[in-house]
């Protein structure tokens, strides 16, 4: 299996192209409160220069459906990643104004904390709502979660699982071997400084993922 790779918190065309050159499948653009936040106009300017096969994912948290739709349309996003308390009803409202193809993808973040088991089950029950579930230690935390502790809850999810949270070129291979996720998502582990990517770390991260795929 080839693990899907998302490089998140893209803030410049230079970083976008470096991520693609390294082997990223998707780029993330943060519209939620963050020091890595970009505007819809900034994201649109970057996305206009990207190859068509690269997925373009907007990160939102507890925003209005109207505003999310506006950003998706203006920036040219192919999917949204929801980090707040968004419900299935919210997603239905979000998609109700998008009758056109292709369908906008929806990724739901679930934090691996003391209420993880219950929240994960709730999200998994919404089979027709969320396309993928992203597991994270906390938005922008740069910390890993206990992979072994989370693993028993994942086997029967029926969803594409994406692992995030403190991943680096040094530990992403172990995360893949333990959790066998569909994809991985990285921010700080491939940065030179907040909001600036490091080309060498990008290459090392993708190479580590591909080594884990082969093993």
Q: Catalytic amino acids?
A: 8, 131
**Helix residue ranges, H only, 96-198:** 116-125, 147-150, 172-179
């Amino acid at each position: 299996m080839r693990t899907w790779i998302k490089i998140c918190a893209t803030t410049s065309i230079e970083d976008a192209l470096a991520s693609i050159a390294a082997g990223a499948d998707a780029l993330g653009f943060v519209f939620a409160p963050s020091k890595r936040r970009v505007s819809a106009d900034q994201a649109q300017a970057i996305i206009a220069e990207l190859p068509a096969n690269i997925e373009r994912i907007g990160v939102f948290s507890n925003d209005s459906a109207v505003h999310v739709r506006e950003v998706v349309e203006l920036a040219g996003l192919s999917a949204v990643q929801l980090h707040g308390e968004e419900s299935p009803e919210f997603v239905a409202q979000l998609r109700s104004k998008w009758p056109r193809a292709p369908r906008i993808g929806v990724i739901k973040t679930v934090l691996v904390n003391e209420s993880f088991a219950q929240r994960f089950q709730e999200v998994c029950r919404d089979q027709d709502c969320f396309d993928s579930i992203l597991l994270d230690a906390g938005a922008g935390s740069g910390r890993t979660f206990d992979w072994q502790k989370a693993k028993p809850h994942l086997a029967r999810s029926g969803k594409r699982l994406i692992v995030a949270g403190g991943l680096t070129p040094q530990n992403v291979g172990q995360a893949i071997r333990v959790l066998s996720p569909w994809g991985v998502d990285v921010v700080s582990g491939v940065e030179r400084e907040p909001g600036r990517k490091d080309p060498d770390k990008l290459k090392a991260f993708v190479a580590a993922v591909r080594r884990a795929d082969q093993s």
